[in-house]
Amino acid sequence: MRLRPVETRDIGWLVAMAGDPVLIGEHNWPGSAVDADERTREMTARLDADGMIGEWKGTMVVELGDGTPIGDVSWRSEKWGPSEKSRCLAFGIALLPQHRGKGHGTEAQRLLVGHLFSRTSTHRIQTDTAVDNPAEQRALEKIGMVREGVIRQAEYRNGQYHDHVLYSILRSEWSG
C-alpha cells in the first residue's frame, strides 16, 4: 500500500464518494450532499494550486500495491490557543466499503501519521471519531494514538449531535 498524490483522474470517484452515504461511510456523511459540480471545481482548483498537498491542509489517495485506489486520507490545521506553537494537524479517512475490515485503514493511517511527522513541523497530530465507530477507534489505538476523552455532542451530522472520542499522538511518541 502507498499514499500517493491525487491526480485529475481521481476527481470523479472522489466526488462520487463524497456524495454518497454508503461510499463515504455513515460517520462521514453530513446529511446532504454538496453539489457535485461545485465540489469538482473546488478539487480541481486545489489540485492546480498545490497538488492538494500542503503542510497544513492536504488530501492523498490510498492505493493498494496493484494500483487500485481504495479511498482517501486528508489533513487540516487545528489550533488550541493563539500561539502558532498551538497549531496541530488533524486527519480523516474514508475507505470504499469493499475495502474496509481488511487492515487497510490501520495501515493507511500509520502511513499518514509517518508522512505528516516527516514532512511537517507539527508537534501533535490528532483526530476524532464518533463513539459508535469501533473500527476507527481500534485502528487508531493499533497505530499508537492515545485516547484522550469524549467530546460531548461534538459533531452535528445527519440531523443530530454525536459524541466523539479525541485521539492524539505527539512527535516524541511516534516511532514509525
Q: Enumerate binding residues for ligand COA (CB under 6 A).
A: 25, 27-28, 71, 92-95, 100-106, 129, 133-136, 138-139
Distance of CA 85 to the CA centre of its chain: 22
Q: Measured from the CB of residue 36, what is the shortest distance to ligand COA in angstroms?
A: 19
Residue 35 CB, nearest approach to ligand COA (Å): 22
Which is closer to ligand COA, CB of 27 or CB of 46? 27
Q: What is d(CA 167, CA 16) in angstroms, rounded to the nearest whole number?
A: 29
Smallest distance, ligand COA to C-beta of residue 80, A: 20
Residue number, 51 or 155, with CB nearest to ligand COA:
155
Q: How far is the CB of 28 from ligand COA (least distance, A)?
A: 5
Amino acid of residue 153: Q
Q: Which is nearer to ligand COA, 12 or 103 (by Cβ)?
A: 103
Chain position carrying cell 481504495: 70
Q: Which residue is nearest to ligand COA (CB)?
A: 105
**What b-and-e string marks burial along 21-43, b requiring 16 or more CB atoms within 10 Å of the CB?**
eebbbebbbeeeeeeeeebeeeb
Q: Decide if 132 contacts 112 (C-beta within 8 A).
A: no
